[in-house]
């Protein structure tokens, strides 16, 4: 059975997350519905990262198997005709039979954008969290450095029964870029709301409401109540998946 990889970008504003969920609009639900029309049979997809409601993707990856070879150019064009510009297949290729968008991935990279302008930028209202600044980026980077490593991130994740909250974070850093603050974090995998919780903590540090040196204690507490909630979802984008 041929296996195919789809590279996917989407504006998550109008979806209740990526994963299919009966009764609500999701990226997976829309994609699989259109693939079924184009390929003339149902398709079950596997995804690299199940983004939450309102979260965007620039470099999401999806894989699926079919019972016969398909014309990838035709399928890509047909799917985009029905779903673009909200959801766009940026590439589609046949891959090795053992490729799995989720389990073959070596790491994922997310970016979060904070607009620290005095007033909100209307052009960024769906893609950035407005936090009137200026924020202390140096202190925010000091805080972010404590997120790197193999740690138990229970304080920064929504609890999931019988699932580990230990993750390996490779890099985490803030930078100013074209008038906004960008947080980029790369990890093997993430827990639910983990990146948004990192952002919320760093913003509190940037505001001077929390010290960067308090991060280890918050992480070691392994208690969701020790953190400062989660940043809004619309500032977050799944930027890339590494294989």
Kindly report, residue by residue over 89-114, the tens digit of the pLDDT: 999 999 999 999 999 999 999 999 99
In a domain, 101, yes or no: no
- The residue from 75, 95, 115 where one domain ends is 95
* Mean pLDDT within 149-175: 93
pLDDT at position 29: 97
Which domain range does residue 173 map to? 107-242
* Mean pLDDT within 30-58: 96
- Judgement on whether residues 82 and 155 belong to the same structural domain of the protein: no
In a domain, 102, yes or no: no
- Judgement on whether residues 38 and 63 belong to the same structural domain of the protein: yes
pLDDT at position 37: 97
From the candidates 7, 11, 42, 52, which is the catalytic residue? 52
Give the total number of structural domains in the chain. Answer: 2
CA distance 146 to 31: 38
* Mean pLDDT within 131-136: 94
pLDDT at position 158: 83
pLDDT bin (cut points 50, 70, 90) of residue 154 is: very high
- Judgement on whether residues 195 and 175 belong to the same structural domain of the protein: yes
Angle in degrees, 0-180, between the axes of helices 194-206 and 137-145, rounded to the nearest 10: 140
> What CATH number has the domain bearing residue 75?
3.30.70.580
- Judgement on whether residues 133 and 164 belong to the same structural domain of the protein: yes
Which residue intervals of the chain are DSSP H helices?
27-39, 72-83, 137-145, 194-206, 215-221
- Judgement on whether residues 116 and 187 belong to the same structural domain of the protein: yes
pTM for the full predicted model: 0.95
In the predicted structure, residue 161 carries a pLDDT above the cut 90: no
Per the annotation, the verdict on 52 as an active-site residue is yes
**Helix (H), strand (E), coil (C) string for 145-177:** HCCCEEEECHHHCCCCCCCCCEEEEEEEEEEEE
In a domain, 146, yes or no: yes
pLDDT at position 179: 86
């Amino acid at each position: 059975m041929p296996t195919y990889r789809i590279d996917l970008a989407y504006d998550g504003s109008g979806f209740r997350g990526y994963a299919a969920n009966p009764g609500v609009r999701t990226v997976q639900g829309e994609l699989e519905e259109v693939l079924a029309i184009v390929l003339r049979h149902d398709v079950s997809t596997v995804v690299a990262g199940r983004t939450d409601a309102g979260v965007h993707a620039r470099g999401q990856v999806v894989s699926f198997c079919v019972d016969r070879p398909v014309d990838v150019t035709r399928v890509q064009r047909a799917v985009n005709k029905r779903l673009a510009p909200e959801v766009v297949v940026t590439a589609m290729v046949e891959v090795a039979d053992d490729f799995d968008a989720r389990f073959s991935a070596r790491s994922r990279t997310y970016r979060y954008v904070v607009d620290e302008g005095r007033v909100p930028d209307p052009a960024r209202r769906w893609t950035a969290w407005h936090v009137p600044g200026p924020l202390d980026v140096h202190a925010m980077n000091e805080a972010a450095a404590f997120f790197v490593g193999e740690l138990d991130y229970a304080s920064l994740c929504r609890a999931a029964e019988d699932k580990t909250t230990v993750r390996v974070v490779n890099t985490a850093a803030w930078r100013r870029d074209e008038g906004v603050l960008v947080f980029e974090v790369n990890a093997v995998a993430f827990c639910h709301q983990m990146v948004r919780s990192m952002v919320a903590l760093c913003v509190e540090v940037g505001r001077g409401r929390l010290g960067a040196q308090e991060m280890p204690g918050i992480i070691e507490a392994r208690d969701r109540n020790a953190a400062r909630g989660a940043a809004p979802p619309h500032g977050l984008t799944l930027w890339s998946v590494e294989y």
